[in-house]
Amino acid sequence: MERDSAKSKHPLQRLMDNPWLLLALGFTIPFVSYTLWGWLELWMVPPATLP
């Protein structure tokens, strides 16, 4: 009976039931997105002119 309920869960529900995976995603997704954003901002800065 317990095995049937585990198999009948939607894959997204099984993902949301795993707190360690949610913790890892909560750190990884912002880290990657802000890192890419920072690199993009550095790439878009025009070169400084020397006096």
Burial class of residue 33 in the structure, from the number of CB atoms within 10 Å of its CB (0-12 exposed, 13-18 middle, 19+ buried):
exposed
Each residue's pLDDT tens digit, 24-48: 999 999 999 999 999 999 999 999 9
Q: What's the confidence (pLDDT) of residue 5?
A: 62
Q: What's the confidence (pLDDT) of residue 44?
A: 95
Q: Is 29 left (phi over 0), alpha (psi -120 to 50) or beta?
A: alpha
- Whole-prediction pTM: 0.65
Task: Identify the band that residue 22 occupies on the pLDDT scale cut at 50, 70 and 90.
Answer: very high
